[in-house]
């Protein structure tokens, strides 16, 4: 039975969904110390975390059985991705589930900091009624500068346009079309945004480039009394520098949901009356947490069962519409890959994956990964998977070439090059959606892959089929299908049989000894 540990609060609905799975054991352990977690983690196949649990190299060294990290939320900056990928650990998150809540909280922080709401509340709480020093700023007609026009940046944009704000944005990594779609002026430089904005909000991920992206010298470039919000990640605005800019009046107010040292409530911003601070509450709504909890439970369950997961962070993203098609070609690619080491034993130097006809239009990255997974699985077993398939090839010195060909025929061809020659296998998915192997080393077939198959090379002469059938019958192996293909040039034919059960070593030896049979190999898919 596979085991999952949940180390941070996710919604009851998510936990219930996990616990409803009969093949999974779920432990919710929210108060484990780091030492306890590291001691317990070898037992688990999957872990579900939010933003506090640090999934780093130290963690991976202990997590010897781990297959899936589920991030109940959006940002994955607490998860060291390279460490997961090289170990074949799939990392999944729920990028869409809490963005509305985060956008709304951003706006809440913007309004409350621009209107001194918290300062006013504290005053009235101490039974003082005094409006002095509480004058705020209206948003209508002001310019809002958005750094990072992604999902949350986009949601904030449309909502604040409804407030009558002019929105400008800086995001060098997205196409102009997105700026047009949101009717937002594109700032070519960060300085341009800093100079023009009355209010600035940041919605980038935490990366080496974005951490401390805005420092004191940047606040000096802004309009005096600019107002700022950070509902993304602590430290994108350097905290010390922002505090200094606030104290000096360069920045009039700040709404901040995220701190550098969270979950510790330590920051120079805390004691400044111009700041409104919340303890990373952006995603803390009933709706977001239900969405996130259910989504992460579904993803972790699917990933543990080896199914395709739409939000796998260390796998290429697939659009919902192409998932079904890609899945079928992944199954084909994996089967074609699996043939090689079961039929040949030479060290692989190069793998070519050729997509012909309409296949060239599908998202091929996952299919190539599936070919590599299938190729290495017979020799590496579960140490290779979709996540680390490419790294595995690289690590073994195998060059991988993917190419696309114009052709009237839809075909996926895998060529495995070795010092001794090239092995070729090709196949397609027929109009009924069924996987078919069409060619092995130039022998033409139309094989529906099965769990047990026999590949037989024999002299192209009468009586071959009969003696194979008789021997398998005598060994109580039922033949499901049999296809024969011949190569006129070398006089060697190839038979491909699918059988209903495992063929024992003894039977294989007897088959091998039959007159005219040159090679017999059992293939397991
Ligand atoms: N406070 C919360 O509870 C909460 C909730 C959800 C998400 N978040 C955080 O909000 C942030 C945004 O999330 P999202 O879903 O919108 O992400 P997203 O990936 O959809 O968008 C991020 C955008 O930032 C842009 N970007 C990256 N580097 C940049 C740079 N150097 N300069 C300018 N733009 C840059 C990207 O091109 C992208 O368009 C993330 O940090 C996420 O972790 C916080
Ligand atoms: O509540 C959380 O775990 C953090 C939410 C948010 O920062 C996210 O990145 O999804």
Query: What is the Cα–Cα distance from 31 to 15, expressed in whole angstroms?
Result: 16
* Span from the CA of 314 to the centroid of ligand 2 (angstroms): 18
Average pLDDT score over residue span 66-83: 94
pLDDT above 80 (res 382): no
Ligand 1 in reach of 209 Cβ (< 6 A): yes
CATH topology of domain 450-524: Alpha-Beta Plaits (3.30.70)
Q: Average pLDDT in the 179-196 region?
A: 96
Where in the sequence numbering do the catalytic residues fall? Answer: 233, 262, 280
Strand 421-429 relative to strand 435-440: parallel, antiparallel, unpaired?
A: antiparallel
- Give 304 or 319, the one with higher predicted confidence: 304
pLDDT at 320: 65
Question: How far does the centroid of ligand 2 lie from the alpha carbon of residue 300, in Å?
Answer: 17
What top-level class would CATH report for the domain 2-96+287-305? alpha beta
Residue 342 has pLDDT above 80, yes or no: yes
pTM for the full model? 0.79
Closest CA to 252 of 237, 242, 240: 242
Q: Is there a shared CATH topology between the 2-96+287-305 domain and the 98-277 domain? A: yes
CATH superfamily of 317-448: D-3-phosphoglycerate dehydrogenase; domain 3 (3.30.1330.90)
Nearest residue by C-alpha to atom 8 in ligand 2:
74
Domain residue limits, the chain = 2-96+287-305, 98-277, 317-448, 450-524
> pLDDT tens digits, residue range 106-155?
999 999 999 999 999 999 999 999 999 999 999 999 999 999 999 999 99
Note the pLDDT tens digit of each residue in 432-446.
Answer: 989 999 999 999 999
Whether residue 319 has pLDDT greater than 70: no
Q: Give me the DSSP letters along 208-270.
A: TTTTT-B-HHHHHHSPTTEEEEE-S-TTSB-HHHHHHHHHTTSEEEEEE---TTTTS---TTT
Q: What is the pLDDT of residues 384-419, one digit of tens each?
A: 888 889 988 988 889 999 999 999 889 999 999 999
Pocket of ligand 1 contains residue 60 by CB under 6 Å: no
Task: Tell me which of 2.40.10.120, 3.40.50.720, 2.40.50.100, 3.40.50.850 is the CATH number of domain 98-277.
Answer: 3.40.50.720
Cβ(73) to ligand 2 under 6 A?
yes
Residue 485 zone, left/alpha/beta (φ > 0; ψ -120 to 50; rest): beta
Q: What is the pLDDT of residue 362?
A: 85
CB distance 507 to 454 below 8 Å: no
**Which candidate, 315, 309, 304, places its Cα nearest to that of 85?**
315
Spatial contact of 149 and 178, defined as CB atoms under 8 Å apart: yes
145 within ligand 1 shell (Cβ under 6 A): no
Query: 51 CB less than 6 Å from ligand 2?
Result: yes
Token pair recorded at residue 89: 């650990």
Q: Is the dihedral of CA 225, 226, 231, 237 positive or negative?
A: negative
CB-count burial class (<10 Å; 0-12, 13-18, 19+) for 291: buried
Beta-bridged to residue 501, according to DSSP, are none
Q: What is the pLDDT of residues 81-92, one digit of tens each?
A: 999 998 989 999
Q: Which residue has a Cα nearest atom 35 of ligand 1?
A: 148
């Amino acid at each position: 039975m596979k085991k999952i540990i949940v180390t941070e609060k996710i919604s009851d609905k998510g936990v219930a969904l996990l616990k409803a799975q009969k093949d999974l054991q779920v432990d919710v352990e929210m108060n484990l110390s780091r030492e306890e977690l590291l001691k317990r983690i070898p037992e688990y196949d999957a872990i579900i975390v939010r933003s506090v649990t640090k999934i780093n190299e130290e963690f991976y060294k202990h997590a010897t059985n781990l297959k899936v990290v589920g991030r109940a939320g959006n940002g994955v900056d607490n998860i060291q991705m390279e460490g997961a990928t090289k170990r074949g650990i799939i990392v999944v998150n729920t990028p869409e589930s809490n963005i509305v809540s985060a956008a709304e909280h951003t706006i809440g922080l913007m309004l409350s900091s621009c209107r001194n709401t918290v300062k006013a509340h504290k005053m009235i709480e101490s039974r003082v009624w005094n409006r002095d020093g509480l004058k705020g700023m209206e948003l209508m007609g002001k310019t809002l500068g958005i750094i990072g026009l992604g999902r949350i940046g986009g949601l904030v944009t449309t909502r604040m346009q409804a407030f009558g704000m002019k929105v400008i944005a800086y995001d060098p990594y997205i196409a102009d079309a997105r700026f047009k779609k949101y009717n937002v002026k594109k700032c070519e430089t960060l300085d341009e945004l800093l100079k023009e904005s009355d209010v600035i909000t940041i919605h980038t991920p935490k990366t080496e480039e974005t951490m401390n992206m805005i420092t004191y010298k940047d606040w000096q470039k802004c309009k005096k009394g600019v107002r700022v919000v950070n509902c993304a990640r602590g430290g994108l605005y350097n905290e010390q520098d922002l505090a200094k800019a606030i104290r000096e009046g360069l920045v009039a107010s700040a709404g901040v949901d995220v701190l550098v040292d969270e979950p510790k409530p330590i920051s120079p911003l805390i004691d400044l009356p111009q700041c409104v601070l919340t303890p990373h509450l952006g995603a803390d709504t009933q709706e977001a947490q239900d969405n996130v909890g259910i989504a992460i439970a579904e993803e972790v369950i699917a990933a543990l069962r080896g199914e395709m997961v739409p939000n796998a962070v260390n796998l290429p993203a697939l659009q919902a519409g192409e998932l079904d098609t890609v899945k079928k070609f992944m199954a084909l690619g994996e089967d074609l890959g699996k043939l090689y080491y079961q039929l040949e034993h030479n060290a692989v130097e190069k793998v070519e994956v050729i997509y012909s006809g309409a296949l060239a239009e599908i998202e091929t990255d996952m299919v190539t990964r599936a070919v590599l997974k299938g190729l290495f699985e017979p020799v590496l077993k579960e140490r290779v998977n979709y996540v680390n398939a490419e790294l595995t090839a690289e690590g073994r010195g195998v060059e991988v070439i993917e190419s696309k060909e114009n052709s009237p025929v839809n075909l996926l061809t895998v060529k495995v090059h070795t010092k001794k020659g090239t092995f070729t296998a090709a196949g397609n998915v027929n109009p009924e959606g069924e996987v078919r192997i069409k060619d092995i080393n130039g022998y033409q077939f139309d094989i529906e892959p099965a769990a047990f198959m026999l590949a037989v090379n024999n002299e192209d002469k009468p009586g071959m089929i009969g003696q194979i059938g008789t021997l398998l019958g005598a060994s109580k192996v039922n033949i499901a299908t049999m296809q024969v293909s011949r190569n006129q040039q070398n006089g060697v034919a190839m038979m491909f049989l699918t059988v209903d059960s495992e063929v024992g070593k003894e039977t294989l030896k007897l088959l091998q000894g039959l007159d005219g049979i040159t090679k017999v190999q059992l293939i397991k898919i």
